[in-house]
Amino acid sequence: MRKSLEEIAKEDGRYSVQVTKFVYEGLGYTMKEVADEPGHVSGPVLCKGLAELALEKWGREAMLVLNTGGVKTTRDFGEIVYLLIKQKWMKAQPTDSIDDFNDVYDFKTVFKDKYKF
């Protein structure tokens, strides 16, 4: 039996339960709203979907919520994704890499500078 998202987040300790659940939820959102390729979402595409979902859910507070939950860069999204892959909550293709999440975008630019009221 696989561990719950709460157990995974608490055992790992780097990211809050809230943002761990958000990344998992963001995969479904991205597959439905953003992805071009059915059945697979690349790291950069997932990061884009997570930005859209964060702004939709939290608006101007998105960066604060993510930062408070331990997510300060797109690499942190990748760390959560690979944690969930390890725990069988997500899957990766052989061509996927955690490095796909490196520097996809700058949080301040996406969540503050480009935010529209």
User: Tell me: the pLDDT tens digits for 68-95?
Assistant: 999 999 999 999 999 999 999 999 999 9
User: Tell me: the pLDDT tens digits for 6-36?
Assistant: 999 999 999 999 999 999 999 999 998 877 7
Tally helices (H) and strands (E) across the chain.
6, 0
Q: What are the distances in angstroms from CA 73 to CA 35, 94, 106?
A: 21, 24, 7
pLDDT category at 49 given cuts 50, 70, 90 is: very high
Residue 117's pLDDT is: 64
Locate all alpha helices (DSSP H) within 34-73, ordered by sequence. Answer: 43-58, 62-68
Residue 27's pLDDT is: 94
Its pTM surpasses 0.85? yes
